[in-house]
Amino acid sequence: MPRVDFVLQGKAAVVPAGTSLLEAAALAGMAVEGNCGGKGTCGKCRVKLAGNGNGGPIAAEMKHLSAQELAEGWVLACRRSAFSDTAVEVRLQKDASGRKAALKRDKSGPAPSPGVSKIPVALPRPGTADQTPDLERLLVRLPGRNLRAGLPVLAGLPRTLREAGFAVTAVLAGDKLIAVEPGDTAGRIFGLAFDIGTTTIMGSLIDLRSGAVLAVEAASNPQAVYGADVISRITHASGNAAGLAQLQKKVTGALNKIIQTLLEQAGVNKDEVYEATVVGNTTMSHLFLGIDPTYLAPAPFVPAFRRPVEAEAALLGLEMHPGGRVLVLPNIAGYVGSDTVGVILATRLDKRAGACLAVDIGTNGELVLAAGGRLLACSTAAGPAF
Ligand code: FES
C-alpha cells in the first residue's frame, strides 16, 4: 500500500492504492479544508505534490487554481489519488478554535445539578454470623430501592471492598451504581460539557460540586474533510456504506483529544469524570450518536429524534469513566438543535423581561425571539454569508 507523507507537518498515512490525497490527509490526522466534501467544486483542498511531476493540471484544477498555482505544482487533494508513495505539501489554515477557547465566560450560570452523586459508606465486615453478599451489603446502605449494578462494577467489587477495608465511595447515576471506589472520594466529581459545532468543537471540564470551569479547550471539527456544511456531511453519511461510521469516529476522536488536554490541564483522572453533556446542531447530534441523518436533508427535513438521549460513555467510545453518563440535550427541529437549547438555558432567555433576541452566529446560525411568554426559533446557513 502506498505511503503518503505530509512533509511540512511530519505526518504520514499508509493507504489503499487509489485513496484520494484528501482522505489520506484525514487518515494522517490533518484537517485539510474540503468544503465540498471532495466533489472537486469548491477548490479549497489545495496541496502541492513535492518531488515528482503531477502529470499536468486536470479540468477542476484549471477552473479553481490560478496560473501561478498551477505552475508551482498545486493540485486539488480530492481529485488526486495515491497509487505509489507520495510526498505532499499542505499549508493548513489557522482556525478559530484557539480564539474560541480564549473567549471570556459568563460565570453567573446556574448552580450545578449533576446527574451523578457520590456516597461514602463504611460497611460492616462479613463474618460467620453475617454472610450477606458484597453487593447487597453495599446496596442496603445506599438511598433508593431499585438500584442496579452493571457487570463491570460487580466484577471488581469483592477485591475493592477488601482492599479498602470496607470503606468505599459509591458512585450513583440515577438508579445505577456505576462505580465503587476505595476510601472517601466524594470530594472529586467532574463532568464535561461539549458544544459540537459544524466547524469548531468546544469542550469544558467542570467541577460538579462547585460548578467551577477548570479547563477549556477547542478544536476544529475533523469531519470538515467530508464537507464544510451539514448537507455535505449528511450526503457523505447516507451515500457511503462506511460514511456514518467515519463521521462518528472523527467527532469521537476529536472529543477524546479535547478530553485528554482538559484532564492534563486540570490534573484530573479520566475515571473521575462521570458525566458529559453534549449539544450541537441536529445533524451533529445525529452524527455523534451514530444515528442515520439521511432524512434531515430533503423536505420535510425530519430528524430521527428530538428528545434528549442518554448513553453510557463506553458505548460512545468517550475517554471518561466507562460507566459515566453522556447526555445529549434535546433538539428543537431538523435545523434548530440542542446548541440552541443550550443558548436558551445559559442566557435564561425565557425569564427575561420584554422582548429579547438571541443570535448564535456559527456555520449554521440560529435566532431565538423571546416575547410575551413565547419562544420562536429559526435558523439559516450563516457560514457562507461571511
Ligand atoms: Fe476538493 Fe472541494 S475541491 S474538497
- 330-346 tens-digit pLDDT: 999 999 999 999 999 98
Q: What is the pLDDT of residue 95?
A: 61
- 150-204 tens-digit pLDDT: 899 999 999 999 999 999 999 999 889 999 999 999 999 999 999 999 989 999 9
Please report the atom of ligand 1 found closest to the CA of residue 34.
4
Q: What is the pLDDT of residue 102?
A: 65
Q: Which residues contact 89 (CB under 8 A, 6 or more apart)?
A: 6, 7, 8, 47, 48, 49, 50
Q: Tell me, in angstroms, the distance from the centre of ligand 1 to residue 331's CA.
A: 30
Q: Tell me, in angstroms, the distance from the centre of ligand 1 to residue 36's CA.
A: 5
Give residues (CB < 6 A) around ligand 1.
22, 34-36, 38-45, 76, 78
Q: Tell me, in angstroms, the distance from the centre of ligand 1 to residue 24's CA.
A: 14
213, containing H or E segment:
strand 213-220
Q: What is the pLDDT of residue 97?
A: 63
Contact 266, 205 (CB under 8 A): yes
For residue 190, which of 204, 178, 176 has the smallest C-alpha distance?
204
Q: Tell me, in angstroms, the distance from the centre of ligand 1 to residue 34's CA.
A: 5
The set of cell numbers assigned to 64 is 479553481
Contact 196, 288 (CB under 8 A): yes
The mean predicted confidence, pLDDT, of the chain is 90
In the three-class reduction of DSSP (H, G, I as helix; E, B as strand; rest coil), residue 240 is classed as: coil
Pocket test for ligand 1, best of 23, 32, 41 (most atoms within 8 A of CB): 41
Q: What is the pLDDT of residue 365?
A: 87
In the three-class reduction of DSSP (H, G, I as helix; E, B as strand; rest coil), residue 35 is classed as: coil
This prediction has a pTM of: 0.81
The set of cell numbers assigned to 167 is 470503606
Q: What is the mean pLDDT of residues 207-233?
A: 90
In the three-class reduction of DSSP (H, G, I as helix; E, B as strand; rest coil), residue 197 is classed as: coil
Please report the atom of ligand 1 found closest to the CA of residue 40.
3
383, containing H or E segment:
none
The phi and psi torsions of 276 (rounded to 5 degrees) equal -135, 130
Q: Tell me, in angstroms, the distance from the centre of ligand 1 to residue 122's CA.
A: 62
Pocket test for ligand 1, best of 20, 32, 39 (most atoms within 8 A of CB): 39
In the three-class reduction of DSSP (H, G, I as helix; E, B as strand; rest coil), residue 385 is classed as: helix
Q: What is the mean pLDDT of residues 346-373?
A: 90
pLDDT band at 239 (very low <50, low <70, confident <90, very high): confident
CA distance 147 to 160: 19
329-338 as b/e: b if 16+ CB within 10 A: bebbbbbbbb
Pocket test for ligand 1, best of 21, 23, 30, 44 (most atoms within 8 A of CB): 44
The phi and psi torsions of 257 (rounded to 5 degrees) equal -65, -40
Please report the atom of ligand 1 found closest to the CA of residue 77.
1
Q: Which residues contact 256 (CB under 8 A, 6 or more apart)?
A: 317, 318, 319
CA distance 368 to 343: 9
- 36-80 tens-digit pLDDT: 878 888 888 889 887 766 778 889 999 999 888 888 889 999 999
Q: What is the pLDDT of residue 104?
A: 61
